[in-house]
Every structure is written in C-alpha cells, then in structure tokens.
A and B are shown apart, each in its own frame.
Chain A
Amino acid sequence: MKKQTVKNADNGKTLKKLWGHIAKFRVLLILSVIMAAATVILQLYVPILFGDAIDNIIAAGQVDFARVGYYLKRVLVLASLSGVTGWTMSILNNRMTYRVVQDIRAQSIRHIQHLPLSYLDQHSTGDIVSRIIADADILSDGLLLGFTQLFSGVVTIVVTLIFMFSKNFWITLLVICLTPVSFWVAKFISSHSYGMFRKQSEARGKQTALIEEIIGNQKVVRAYGYEERASRRFAEINEQLRDYSAQAIFYSSLTNPCTRFVNSLIYAGVALIGTILIPGGSLTVGGLTVLLSYANQYMKPFNDISSVVTEMQNALACAARLFALLEEPEESADAQGTLEDPKGCVEIQNVAFSYDKSRKLIEHFSLDARPGMRVAIVGPTGCGKTTFINLLMRFYDTDSGEITIDGKEIKTLSRHALRSGFGMVLQDTWVKQGTVRENIAFGKPDATDEEIILAAKEAHSWDFIRRLPKGLDTVLYEDSISQGQKQLLCITRVMLTLPPMLILDEATSSIDTRTEVLIQEAFDKLMEGRTSFVVAHRLSTIRNASLILVMRDGKIIEQGTHEELLARGGFYHTLYNSQFQRA
C-alpha cells in the first residue's frame, strides 16, 4: 500500500517534469483538447438529428418534408464541422507529439556530450539509445495522445449518457448495467489465454536462440556438415511452437466474438424494450434508432480508455527513464585555459585514481615527460595502462595529484584545448557510418583529398582503401571492413591531424607485425620532436622508446630504457622473454 503511494508520488513528479518540457506546447495541448471535445459532441449529436428526421417520416402521407429537410441540413453542417475539428485535432496532436520528441532528443544528445564518461562507460549503449529513441516515442504517443484520447473517451461517455437518458431512462439503465458483462468476458478470456501466450513466447524464445546460434554461425555448421542435424533440431522446436501459437492465437481471438456476442444481447434487449415502449408514447422510433446506435458505440470509449490507461502507465515509466538520463549530472564545468603551441612537456605528480572508490587502482603515480620523449607503458591486463590515458585526456578526473602540460594544470585548461593537443588512437576502433573520406577527415573536416591520400599512404591504409569498391567514397557500415583495416583508418585519422602530442593505446593490436613496423616508422617520423605515449601489448614495438614504464596493480614498478630494464632482470625481463619464447 505504502509502495503504491510512493509510486504514485513518483508518477506525479514525472508528470510535473513532463509538463515543464511541454510548457511551450501548452497552447497546442489546450486547443487539441477543445477540438477533441467539439468533435466528440458533434459526432454524438448527429445520430440524434437523424432520429429526429426519422420521427418526421412516419408513414405514407405522414412525412413532414420541411422538418426532415431542416434536420438533414443541420446534419450536413455539423458533420462537416466535426470533420474539420477532427482533422485540426489530429494536426495539432501530430505537431505537438513530434515536436516534443524532437525537443527531448535534441536535449538528450546535447546532454550526452557533457555526461561524464564514468556514466557512459557504466551504462550499455543499447539502453541509452532505447531511452532516447523508443522511450521518447512512447512518451509522446502515450502521454500526449493518451491524454487527448482519455479526454475524448470521458467526454464520449458523459455525453452519450446524457443523450441516452434524454431519450429513455430505463433503456439507458439497462445498457449501463449490462456493459460490464462484456468487460468481464474480455478479462476472463485474456487471463486464460495468458498461460498459452507465455508458452508461446517461451517456445519462440528457444527457437530464436537456436536460429541465432545456427544461422549466425552458418559457416561453422557448413564446415562440420551439421546441416541435417540442425534441421532436425529446428523441426522439433518448430512443431512445438506451431502448437502453442495455434492455441494462443485461437484463444486470444475469442475476445472479439465474445464481446460482440454480449453487445448483440444488449442490442436485442434495447430493441425489445424500445419497441415495447414506443406504442405507449414514452419513446419514438427515431429515439429508438438513436439508442440502438449508441448501444452499439457505447462500449468503444470504455475499451479505448482501458487501453489508453495501460499505455499511459507504460509511457510514464518511459518518461521516468528518460528524465533519469536527462537529470544525470554533467561533468565538472569547463575551465577557460588554453594551450598555445604546446611543447609537450607532460608532468604527472603523485596522482591517485580509482573507478570504484572502495578499491584503489592508481596510486603515487609520477612521471616527467620532456618534449619529444616517447613514453611506453607496459604491464599485464588491468594494471591501469588505459586508465592513465583516461586521465591524460581528462575522460576521467584524478582523485588527487597533479597533471600539468607545459606547466599548466590540465584542470585549468578547457577540455577542447587539452584534447586538441593530443592525437589519440585506441584499441577499440570506432568507425562511423559514412564514407571513408568522412571518417578520415573526422578531426580535420576541411582536409583536401591530397592531404587525405597522403595521410592514408603514410598510415599504410591507402592500399586497402584503393581497393574498396568506391575508394574514398565507399560508405562504411558496422562490419564492412576488418578490425585491422578499421585500426588503419583510425591511425590515418590521426596522421591527418598532425597533433602536437600522441597517444597510442594498443593502436596496432589487430595489424600484422610487418605493417605495424612500417606504421611505427611513420609515427616516428611524425612524432619527431613531439611527445608520445604508447600502450603496447607486443613489446617488440616499444624497444626504442625513450622511457618505458612498467606498471603493475596501478603502480609504476620499473622504469627506464629497454636495455636498462632488461639488464635489471626484473618484471620487464620476464615479460619480454615470455613474449619471444620459442616453440
């Protein structure tokens, strides 16, 4: 009970927030509601006019043409008017819902740019995407349209009741009393078909898993001649699914005929009582026509309202998720400092950092990189190599200690100033959907084709780009090129920007060793006189670094040049030798 109250309070808050977001569409919403009410009342009044007209067509020679004409003219006017208000309402609703979605999405995408990476790293991409895309849609459909539908539903019921009572009290009472039966029947059926739907969705889930596994790895299936066995397994579950589906579909499809049956009973009842009453004079034939057509329609708003309410609850949940994203605090405010022509003097003093504040990761981390130095960082998985890059680029902020570039603490610099000082290639390649040219020129959108091709040649990606169907104009999708080729593109991207400082985090892990050496040479040339930081798994690529940091458990345990470290015979020595062990 208490939980329910809390939930209701939450819903109230969410609604309040939503109201804030749609404030500028307030006029549209009010207009839409007015239009909805007008449409409903007009449409409900039309049958009455028809009834009145029919009452003036009694029998041969008893037709009052003037009255009939009068009512019919009014029908024409009111029906046309309701058409106009109905369409206006739809247009208003459309504009309102789509604009609200657009606003919320625009807000979300801007918010994302300023969310701390700690949030983005911890939340799955799919989840955030579904909030911005699906939840935003459901929110606008469910809440805004839901609101207008709910409103028209209520208006319909009230107006129908008024009109019906104005025609005949007892028949109206009969309709009101019998209507719940139809609800009860629908509920009975849906609660009984629920079990079958569950079975169906279980079987479907199993089948989808099998399909994903087999078809997703069809090449393995093919290599092992597993096709027939796969087909047999599929057939088995397919038969199960066929049976469950047939049952679930059949039982659930009983709802309509059954509620229709109840409606027919009500209809027959209205017809009987109505005809019995007419001779007594308490009801006219036209009145009966009106009551019959209302009896037919009376159920509809109830069904609408019950589905709208479910939808609105769902929409509120979506809105809450979306607002949770939008209210996620942004990263610390940006400083204003700039880096003029950075020399690349990077000093790190006694830095400590951890993702999970209860578990220490980096501690007492100090480093002094002079301009032009090539700093390599090695160590086992999880030792904090990539974390160091995160701190350097201010993807994360240090817990304590100082990082300075050319003597300026990086927290005093604007993030853009800091980051444009670095060129970065990560192991996790990211290629956007777009042409090869757009991808390479990502960091320098005004680059000419000559510059792009030159960079591609230096990064040794030109060879494969040239062979793509449309060269630089080839549109890249998620999996259209291999991992190694993606890495080459990311390297080209950096080659083009000529950064003052460079960060390579396992940047060549998917590239063959020979190409790696060639790229390394290109980087060496590029980085002459510039500072670079290289995280590498293959130790062969960092032998000629000016400084090698050996990290373990968040601490620098050894540092020096390759020769010095080998001579020391410590952890680096062990690492290096395991790498080159012969079979």
Chain B
Amino acid sequence: MKNLSGYLKRYAMESVLAPLFKLLEVILDLMVPLVVARMINIGVAGNDRTYMVQCFGILIGMALLGLAASITAQFFAAKASTGFAADLRQAVFDHIQGFSFTELDTLGADTMITRLTDDINQVQTGVNMGLRLLLRSPFVVFGAMVMAFTIDVKCAWIFAGAIPVLFLVVFAIMLVSIPLFKKAQSALDRVTCLTRENLTGVRVIRAFCREGQSVREFDESSRYLTKLNEFVGRISALLNPLTYVLINIAAVILIDWAAIEVSIGGIAQGDVVALNNYMLQITVELIKLASLIITLNKSVACAGRVSSVLAQPASMAYPAENVKPAEDAQDAVCFDHVGFTYKNAGAPSLTNVSFRAKKGQTIGIIGGTGSGKSTLVSLIPRFYDPQQGTVALDGEDARNYTRETLCEKVGVVQQRAVLFQGTIRDNLRWGNENADDAALWEALEAAQAKEVVEAKPGQLDFQLEQGGRNLSGGQKQRLSIARALVKKPEILILDDSSSALDFATDAALRRSIRNLGYDVTTFLVSQRIACIRQADQILVLDNGSLAGVGTHEQLLESCPLYQEIFDSQFPGERKNAKEGNAQ
C-alpha cells in the first residue's frame, strides 16, 4: 500500500488544505450552541432584543463562513482525489505495459481491467470522502467534548466517558460485520455462478436429466446465503439502536449533573441547552463516521488490490544495448535443448527441443491439441524465457537483444485475430507507426486482404468497431496478417492464423508470403497437413517434444506420428501419395 501514498503526495497541498477548511467549518458549527446559549442566558434573561438580533446576525455570518469553508474544502478534495486517481491509473496502466507474458498469464486480463476501472474508482471515492469527512466527524465529536469543557468541566467528564464507549461499540460492530459481509458477498457470487450455469448448460442439464440436482445445489447455496445475510444483518442492525440508547443514557446523566450544577449556580439554563445540543451532535456524527469507515474499508481493500498489481515486478529484464549479431550467422532461429514450463503448471510444455531454421526457410509446425506448437513459437520473440537450453536469433541468445529489436525482428500473427477500434489504417500501423499508404497496400495485397479493404467504404479509413466486430473471422485474420507484414519482420510467425480462410485463399496467402520482396524466415503453425506440406522443414510435436523433423516426404517415410496425422486427414491416400512422389 505504501507504493500508493506516493501518488497522493503530489497533491500534498490540496490534501492538507481540504481537511483544514473542513476543520474551520466544524469549529463554526460547534460555536452555534454557544451562541444560542448566550441568546438564552443573556438575551432572554435580560429580555434584550438587540442582543438577540445581534446573535442572530452572528449565526447567519457563521453559516455563511461555514458555507465558504466547506465549498473550499470540497474543491480541494475533488482536485486531490481525481488527480490522485488519474495519476494512479496512468501508473498502473504503464506498469502493465511493462509486463511479460508470464505476468499477464498469472494476473489475467479481467483482473487487470477491474483494477484499472472499478477498483481505482473506488479508491478515488475513498480518498475524496476521506479528505472531506474522515476528519470532520472526529473533529465534531472531540470538538463537542472540548466545547463542553469550556462550559462546565464536571459535566464535560460525561462526554469524556461516553465517547470512548460509543467508539468501542461502533468499531466492535463493524469489525465483526465487515468480514461477514465479505463472506456473504462470495456466497452471492456462488449463487450467481450457479444461476448462470443453469442457463448456459441448459441443454446438457436436460440431456442428462439433472434438473433436480441443479435445483438442489442452487437451493443449498441460496439458503446458505440467506443464513449469512440474516446473521450479519442482525449484528450490523445493532449499531443504530445501541448507539441511540447509549447516547441517551449519557444525556440523562448529563442533565442530572447539570441540574446540580445549575442549582448551586455553577452554570445557567442556556448552558444546559448547549450541553444537550453537543451531546446530540455526537450521535449524528458517530453514525456518519461508521458508514464512512465502511466506505473507506472497501476503498482500502481496493487500494490493496491495485497496489499488488504495482508491486508485481516485470519478470523479464532486457539489456540496454544490443549485442552485435554475427554477420555471417546462417541460422535465423536456433533452439538448443529447449525446455519450458508455464508458471504454476504441473508439467513441462516443451522438453528438449532442438532445431535450426536457416534464414529464408519456411518451417512448418504440426502436432495435436496441446502438443506445444504455440508455446514453441512464443519463445522465438521471447514472450517467455525457456528454463532449459537457449533460443538464439541470428546466432545470438534472444536474451541479449533489446525489447525494441526483438519486436522489430519478429512478427507474430496469433491464433485469435485481434483488431482494435479505429480505422484500418490505424490498425495496420501497429506494425510500423510511420508506414505510408503504399506500404500498407503492399502488405494488404500480400495478406490477400486487398479486396477486403477495397470493398469497404472509405477503404483504409474504414472504421473498425471494438475488437473488429464489424468484420468476419476470415477478414480479421487477413488484416491481422497484413498488420504483421507492415512491420517487414525478419522472422514471421503465423500461429494457426489462417484457420478461418477457405482453402484457395489460404494457398494463395502462403504463395505470396514465400514471394515477399524481402528475406523472411517463416514459421507456419497448423493442424492441417495441407498448410505445411510445402515447408522446407516440418517440426512434428508430440506432448512437448519433437517427434520428427524433416520435409513432408521424409516425414511420411520415417515419422509414425506424421503418418498418423496424414492418414487422419487423407484417409487411404498415403499409398497414392507415395506413388505420386515416386513418379
């Protein structure tokens, strides 16, 4: 949490002035009963109307001053809290930008989005309320006590006794109920989850005739929620009646003692009225304080979560300077006994993978679901660091390149085509901020996306909706390939990124990538043999290890797994294929 206080320090002046002006307002509020007491003691006793009107004037003046002080305080509080929240949001956002894939996997996008939006908003509310009110209520409570002392020391001791007792009661109730509220919240989450499942799984539930069981499970969690809610409700409902009774007991004692003081001439009747007023003010403020503390407690929990994101260090370090790769390096990519396990995973995803990809080669990667294809290619742009072995680019360990260089060198088109809100031009320029339209069209043509863009009104200026919703899956894939080509990468990775394309477009795409105007080493990840059979080298992955490396023909000869995959896609055709090759 300490890492957050730094952001509030930038608004130190506002954060100090806001409560100070609030204090001024409170002091004025506290003067009111005193003035009224004087109106009674002096004005009424002497039937002095001028004095009464004077006092009335003073009351109005104090109200005006209080209004001004309060408005000033609100102004500073608003400025400090929104400024603090804005700075914090920017800091968290920027911090996330520095995360490597490992941190992104661990935290998860939903979590990070919630931290940046709801949680920081809640922190902002907390800071704002805190600056405005956290000091106000204690000021009023203790101020009332101090004022009581100025009136009559003996009676004031009742305040000194009542306040700690009241505080104790309020805090005890809250301390007990807050964790229970949290528990009730998670019970509600469970009920929500079950409701959702009953809807999303309706076909499965009905197909398996499990309606009764679903209802029972739901009832159970619903009853548990009710039980928790009633329990915590009963405890937190004690707050108001209990404080009310206590404050009245205190007031009764107060009046009783005050009666004695008046009878011996210690204080006047007006003073009793004032003392009684102060006692009443305490009740109101204590209740306010309690609800404020609940709000603050929520904010503190949110702040803790935000803080934990900031405290998560970026695990990947990059060198400040590039190494100079060997000029004569033959291999664009070289895996040397690479082993990799995802954080928190039970088993390794890659074991002992070694291969070399010469510059300009096309490498196909094939294998079953979860065999490690995507993992393998994500080590090339150093999205993750392998735990065993090395990944070298141009003969130099990937860890010795700067972040920028790696990013320029390697273009990745991920499985799920992701486009962003904005024009097509904006989207393509993700690859290269300074690319001109000619370069964009060139990339589009190579990605077989030229006609897609040409058919859109405004062409490159066509506005995409969030997530590229207004495009079909195949169009998105082609545009995301074009985006990678705009970068003109030395190494291009297509991770199952043409699955939504029809066979002819897919083939044309592969042809045009082979004939790009510049030297590019291409990795093609696919489940379809048809997509990779032309590759210079095919890596066959099985459960994270290489089951075979070679050309299509070599693998058909020697790799049983490859043969199986082939048979599953071209049943009974292996024999023909062999004959065809022999010719």
Contacts and interface: CB of A to CB of B under 8 A. Distances in A.
A213 B25 CA distance: 45
Given A102-B223, A271-B56, A513 B527 contact: yes
B260 to A, nearest CB: 8
Contacts of A125: 196, 199-200
A168 to B, nearest CB: 14
A75 B248 contact: yes
A221 B383 CA distance: 12
A60 B420 contact: no
A223 B383 contact: yes
Contacts of A569: none
A249 B208 contact: no
Interface string B182-220: 000000100111111111111111111111011100110
Contact of A83 (B245, B466, B507): B245
Contacts of B94: 231
B144 to A, nearest CB: 14
Interface string A229-259: 1110011001101100111011001101110
Contacts of B60: 264-265, 268
Contacts of B93: 211, 215, 230-231, 234, 238
Contacts of A86: 240-241, 244
A120 B202 CA distance: 9
Nearest to B543: A463
Given A254-B74, A514-B368, A112 B256 contact: no
A227 B98 contact: yes
Identify the interface centre among B35, B200, B277, B369: most chain A CB within 10 Å of its CB.
B369
B8 interface: no
B74 A57 contact: no
Contact of A246 (B82, B101, B200, B418): B82
B564 interface: yes
B123 interface: no
Interface in A441-478: 442-443, 445, 463-464, 467-469
Interface in A189-233: 204, 207-209, 211-231
Interface string B565-579: 101111100000000
B86 A238 contact: yes
Interface string A5-44: 0000000000000000000000000000000000000010
Interface residues of A, number: 151
B408 interface: yes
B199 A219 contact: no
A230 B116 CA distance: 14
Contacts of A556: none
A229 B420 CA distance: 13
B546 to A, nearest CB: 16
Interface in B1-45: 25, 32, 35-36, 39-40, 43-44
Nearest to A513: B568
Interface stretch (A128-136, A175-183, A305-313, A337-345): A128-136
Interface of A is mostly: helix
Interface in A510-550: 510-517, 540, 543
Nearest to B531: A583
B311 interface: no
Contacts of B249: 76, 79
Given A209-B466, A464-B370, A91 B237 contact: yes
A339 to B, nearest CB: 12
Given A268-B63, A272-B53, A249 B116 contact: no
Interface residues of B, number: 164
Interface in B128-171: 128, 132
A50 B209 CA distance: 68
A242 B226 contact: no
B582 interface: no
Interface string B503-546: 11011001100000000000000010011011000000001000
B52 A272 contact: yes
A109 B66 contact: no
A289 interface: yes
B583 interface: no
B215 A109 contact: yes
A507 to B, nearest CB: 12
Contact of B245 (A80, A101, A120, A209): A80
Contacts of A490: 204
Interface stretch (A65-73, A149-157, A347-355, A401-409): A65-73
A170 interface: no
A338 to B, nearest CB: 13
B32 A264 contact: yes
B527 A246 contact: no
B126 interface: no
A50 B276 contact: yes
Contacts of B559: none
A464 B330 CA distance: 38
B459 interface: no
A513 B467 contact: no
Nearest to B201: A430
Interface stretch (A315-323, A358-366, A370-378, A413-421): A413-421
29 contacts: A57-B258, A57-B259, A59-B268, A63-B259, A72-B256, A76-B249, A99-B226, A109-B214, A128-B195, A129-B196, A133-B192, A204-B121, A213-B420, A219-B101, A224-B431, A253-B77, A260-B70, A261-B64, A264-B66, A271-B39, A272-B39, A285-B270, A285-B273, A293-B280, A422-B207, A430-B201, A433-B197, A517-B568, A581-B503
Given A109-B194, A245-B86, 18 more contacts: A46-B248, A57-B255, A59-B262, A87-B242, A95-B230, A129-B196, A234-B89, A249-B82, A253-B128, A395-B206, A419-B209, A422-B207, A512-B369, A512-B565, A513-B527, A517-B568, A540-B571, A578-B502
4 pairs of A and B residues whose beta carbons are closest in the complex: A90-B237, A60-B265, A225-B407, A264-B63
